[in-house]
Amino acid sequence: MLEVDGSFGEGGGQILRTAVALSAIAGIDIRVVNIRAKRPEPGLKKQHLTGILAAAKICNAVVEGASVGSTEVVFKPGSIRGGRYEFDVGTAGSVTLVLQTLLPIAAFADSPVTIEVRGGTDVPWSPPIDYLRYVVKPHLERLGYIFRVELVRRGHYPRGGGVVRVTVDKPPKSFKSVNVVSAGPLKKVEGISHCVKLPKHVAERQARAVVEELRKHRVGASVDVVLEWYEPEKDYHLGPGSGVVLWAQTENSVLGADSLGERGKPAEVVGAEAASKLLEELATGMAYDRHMADILVPYLALARGVSLIGISKLTLHVYTNLWLVKQVLKTDVEYSENLEKPAVVKIAPRHPL
């Protein structure tokens, strides 16, 4: 049994999510210790527990230590089975972080898979659902992983209530490698500015601030931010909440950025913040934004062939996932260990899959 130190690197939930996914796919029994050791409240939260138990159900795993507050978990996977699954994170626990564990596993199922997850779709400290739909999905499609994402209902902190449905009709059971270092010239910027249980002008002001910030920095490409809002009698969300997700279409890639609304935060600040984050990603000239980079690492460690990618920032999350694929899959990785700097990363799989 392989032991993984959950206190390494970023020392949060990411090690657990990635380790469980790799365990299920590679058929390796693991023990994760010191779970979330670097967080103010170490141990499993409801969100992490949901991800583990959901993964266990899909791959018929035996799990030990799966309870809220636990700092050690044993995961012994079985075969990955297709079918329809429903999971509830509870309140506003992140749907997208649960899917970060389940999506790689679903790619290796023995038949089509549909996964419905309830919880928070647009909540702090996790990728918004529109980032999954418009940034993550195109990148995974480049690897040969085709799936559908249906946003049934948005869920914001603290009430949650969001529903997302993911369908994989033909699990690929492998991924293509990629060689994309530079983003290339900017072609256009797109985005969604949404609000629920709030007046339409919130979404409008967020979108207007995006355009103003990008124009202020002389972005010459077209900018199209779609508004999403609801008439009160048709607004079935628990809300309230708002946010902006932007994605830049470049010659070689798609880079994303986002910002969430919150009580006391003007809509203009939300829009300008999302635009500033996107400008920061584009300024590096690299093909993958910092959040896509850490999501992509496990897929490339499971790919057929060597990958070379340019990332906008070597965050602690990326660094941690690179370390983890070396531990679990014996993947060869090469990169300059200059944290918080742009980097070119080489990933050479050595697994038997």
Residues taking part in catalysis: 317
Both tokens of 22, joined, read: 């790799």
Picking from 31, 14, 170, the residue whose alpha carbon sits closest to that of residue 96 is 14
Q: How many Å apart are CA 113 and CA 49, to the nearest integer?
A: 21
CA contacts within 13 A on the Cβ side of 205: 14
Q: How many Å apart are CA 331 and CA 300, to the nearest integer?
A: 10
Q: How many Å apart are CA 181 and CA 196, to the nearest integer?
A: 38
* H helix and E strand count, the chain: 9, 18
Both tokens of 281, joined, read: 């990603």
Residues 86, 87, 88: CA angle, nearest 5 degrees: 130
Rg (CA), the chain: 20
Report the DSSP pairing between strands 62-64 and 30-33. Answer: unpaired
Q: Is 283:247 a contact under the CB 8 Å cutoff?
A: no
Q: How big is the chain, counted in residues? A: 353
CA distances from 331 to 180, 346, 352 (A): 19, 10, 11
